Amino acid sequence: MKNRIKLSLLLSAALFMGSCSLNYDPISDYSELTFGNETGDAGDKYQTKAEMQQQYDNIYKSIQNAQESWYMDMLVFAETHADNAYSGATDAELISLESNKQDATNKNIERDWTSYLGYIVSANRVICNVDSVPDAALTDAERKQWKAEASIWRAWVLFDMTRLWGEVPVVTQETPNITAANVKEMYPILFPARNTIEDVYKQIISDLQYGLQYAPKTSATDKFKLTQSVAKTLLAKVYAEAPVRDYAKVIEYCESVKNDGFSLVANYSDLFSVNNDKTDVNYRNTSESIFEVIYPLGSGSWVTWMFGIDQCDPSSTYNWAKWITPSRDLIQAYENEGDNVRMNEAIIWAQPSWSIHYPSDHYPFMYKTRSRYNSILKFRLADVLLLEAEAYVAQGNLTAAADLVDQIRVRAKLAKLDASTKGSKDNMVNAVLKERRLELAFEGQRWFDLVRNGKVLEVMNSLNTRDSGRKKMATFTENSLLMPVPQTQIDSNPNLTQNKGY
């Protein structure tokens, strides 16, 4: 064949050489180049005190913004998922939690899992970086204090997580840079497995011990602070839990909290009430409050309209189904006790347009966080006193326990415990548990009280026979004590495992 083939050939190359004049790193923008390091070491991520302070302030901002996951959803776990409340609204997520049919695809459980882990990340930002800020304006004492507050926050979140899910991943470092060379070693750091419950508690206790050492003392004018007293309260609660149970320590830390100058307010309603003009709450930072999330006047919180009307907003109405509807069983418990003082602070009756759980002409709503200006009460002295009573009962010191319970009952205008109750350990276990229920209803305690006292199966499996308005619940078993790990999280992190029964 003659060479008549017409062949068109085109070869081209686009070359970007190292010497090309366009190949410069940008120095006009704020980036790692202009902030000194290229390795991504924790070292100089934050150069000035103000930069570190922003991360420190972010912890408190994120607590204020945690209304959904760390307050409202906590109430669903603690009240709706226990015997104090119904779902209120008809969302399938809520109804499944009310009837103990929650599964791994529950979107509320998923958002809480991811939010809580996110809070730990924000605590780690402070803990991991505060020591290496080169700015001398940040004093050694401040560094320790910030780290202590962040440690308390990390411990608190881990404590809530392990009570909900059991084993959880404990991540105490920031994410290192990922390169082609280290991607394999990074894998367990990027996609951590769940630590054993024992390890989780080890971390919690060590964080709280650090917090106890360096956190600020409590201030009478600002209870929205992660103080030594908060660390002590948490330690008392931690040592009451089965995996690390030590009642002597519970009593020791409760006593220590009491010695920090807290006292019960004289009127129970002072903890929750709004003023006559309905422009603000009557009191915040009360002598009883150990930790409360304070919202600024003006904006306030949004979460209050999830439970009822906002008492500080005259235009507020019962416009759609509210969450955490008080259960018949709880109302019965108040009535059996003749406890009007606390029932009237916990429950308000109204006439909404719906009748999901009650007739619409007489419908109860949660009343404790009743306005946008109400602080979210997380820890208060009454909780600590009753926890101490629980520990004394377990130790057999029924008199000491009854004295503590009586303090709470007298404030609620109720008679002191009678002799037959005081005389029996079993009766006292139930008396303390009931007192906690009535005193702390809708404050996010009930479910955890039942679990801690080993009462879930006994109380919850008989609930359908006691409470006619309760949805038919799935039978509680040992597996019901923990929530499912969200399936989306297992999907994206194969190192995670699911809890038994889900």
Partner 1 sequence: MGLLPFCICCMEMSSEEFMNDIKWINDLKIRGGWGQTGNQSGVGDYGYLQLRNITRQNWWETGKANALPITSPANMSNSELTWETTTQTNIGVDFTILNNRLTLTADAYYKYTTDLLMDVPLGPTASFSGIYRNEGEMENKGIEFGVNSKNLIGNFNWDTDFNISFNRNKVKKFDTRQSYFYAQSTTGEYITKLAIGQPLGMFWGYVSDGVNPETGDIIYRDIDNSGSVTPNDKTYIGDPNPDFTFGLTNNLSYKGFNLNIFFQGSVGNDIYNLSRMETEGMYDAKNQSTAVLARWKIPGQITDMPRAVASKDNLKTSSRFVEDGSFLRLKTLTLSYNVTGKLLKKWNIGRLQPYFTAQNLLTFTNYKGFDPEVNQWGGSALVQGLDWGTYPQTKSYVFGVNVEF
Q: According to CB under 8 A, which residues from 185 to 214 bind partner 1? A: 186-187, 190-192
Q: How many residues bind partner 1 (CB under 8 A)?
A: 80
Q: Which of the stretches 3-11, 141-149, 260-268, 419-427 binds partner 1 when contact is defined by CB under 8 A?
A: 3-11
Q: How far is CA 301 from CA 68, 72, 143, 268, in A?
A: 11, 12, 30, 22
23, containing H or E segment = none
If the CB atoms of residues 101 and 245 are measured against partner 1, the closer one turns out to be 101
Beta bridge partners of 219: 222
For residue 429, count other CB atoms closer than 10 A to its CB: 18
* CA-closest candidate to residue 211, choices 130, 150, 291: 150
Nearest-Å Rg of the Cα atoms of the chain is: 27
If the CB atoms of residues 26 and 359 are measured against partner 1, the closer one turns out to be 26
Applying CB under 8 A, does 472 fall inside the site for partner 1? no
Distance, C-alpha 280 to centroid of its chain: 25
| Closest approach of partner 1 to the CB of residue 176, in Å | 9
3-state class of 14 per DSSP? Answer: coil
Q: Are strands 363-366 and 325-326 parallel, antiparallel or unpaired?
A: unpaired
| Closest approach of partner 1 to the CB of residue 349, in Å | 24
Measure the CA–CA gap between 502 and 488, rounded to whole angstroms.
14
3-state class of 404 per DSSP? Answer: helix
If the CB atoms of residues 192 and 216 are measured against partner 1, the closer one turns out to be 192
Q: Which of the stretches 130-138, 245-253, 311-319, 485-493 binds partner 1 when contact is defined by CB under 8 A?
A: 485-493
| Closest approach of partner 1 to the CB of residue 155, in Å | 16
| Closest approach of partner 1 to the CB of residue 500, in Å | 12
If the CB atoms of residues 32 and 68 are measured against partner 1, the closer one turns out to be 32
77, containing H or E segment = none
Q: Which of the stretches 179-187, 361-369, 407-415, 458-466 binds partner 1 when contact is defined by CB under 8 A?
A: 179-187
If the CB atoms of residues 124 and 327 are measured against partner 1, the closer one turns out to be 124
Distance, C-alpha 489 to centroid of its chain: 20
- Binders in 117-156 for partner 1, by CB under 8 A: 117-118, 120-121, 124-125
If the CB atoms of residues 96 and 229 are measured against partner 1, the closer one turns out to be 96
If the CB atoms of residues 165 and 334 are measured against partner 1, the closer one turns out to be 165
Residue 153 in tokens: 């926050």
Do 94 and 108 form a contact (C-beta atoms < 8 A)?
yes
- Binders in 8-47 for partner 1, by CB under 8 A: 8-18, 23, 25-26, 29-33, 35, 38, 40, 45-46
| Closest approach of partner 1 to the CB of residue 191, in Å | 6
- Per DSSP, 297 falls in state T
**Of the candidate residues 319, 351, 475, 492, the single one contacting partner 1 (CB under 8 A):** 492
Do 368 and 380 form a contact (C-beta atoms < 8 A)?
no
Do 230 and 215 form a contact (C-beta atoms < 8 A)?
yes
Site string for partner 1, 55-84 (x = CB under 8 A): x-----------------------------
Measure the CA–CA gap between 305 and 356, rounded to whole angstroms.
18
3-state class of 487 per DSSP? Answer: helix
Q: Are strands 376-380 and 289-293 parallel, antiparallel or unpaired?
A: antiparallel
If the CB atoms of residues 458 and 491 are measured against partner 1, the closer one turns out to be 491
If the CB atoms of residues 269 and 495 are measured against partner 1, the closer one turns out to be 495
| Closest approach of partner 1 to the CB of residue 77, in Å | 17
If the CB atoms of residues 68 and 246 are measured against partner 1, the closer one turns out to be 68
Torsion of CA 196, 201, 204, 206, to 10 degrees: -110
For residue 298, count other CB atoms closer than 10 A to its CB: 7
| Closest approach of partner 1 to the CB of residue 126, in Å | 12
Residue 227 one-letter amino acid: T
Q: Which of the stretches 376-384, 405-413, 462-470, 492-500 binds partner 1 when contact is defined by CB under 8 A?
A: 492-500
Site string for partner 1, 83-122 (x = CB under 8 A): -------xxx--xx----x--xxxx--x--xxx-xx-xx-
If the CB atoms of residues 175 and 263 are measured against partner 1, the closer one turns out to be 175
| Closest approach of partner 1 to the CB of residue 157, in Å | 12
| Closest approach of partner 1 to the CB of residue 188, in Å | 11
3-state class of 428 per DSSP? Answer: helix
Measure the CA–CA gap between 46 and 312, rounded to whole angstroms.
41
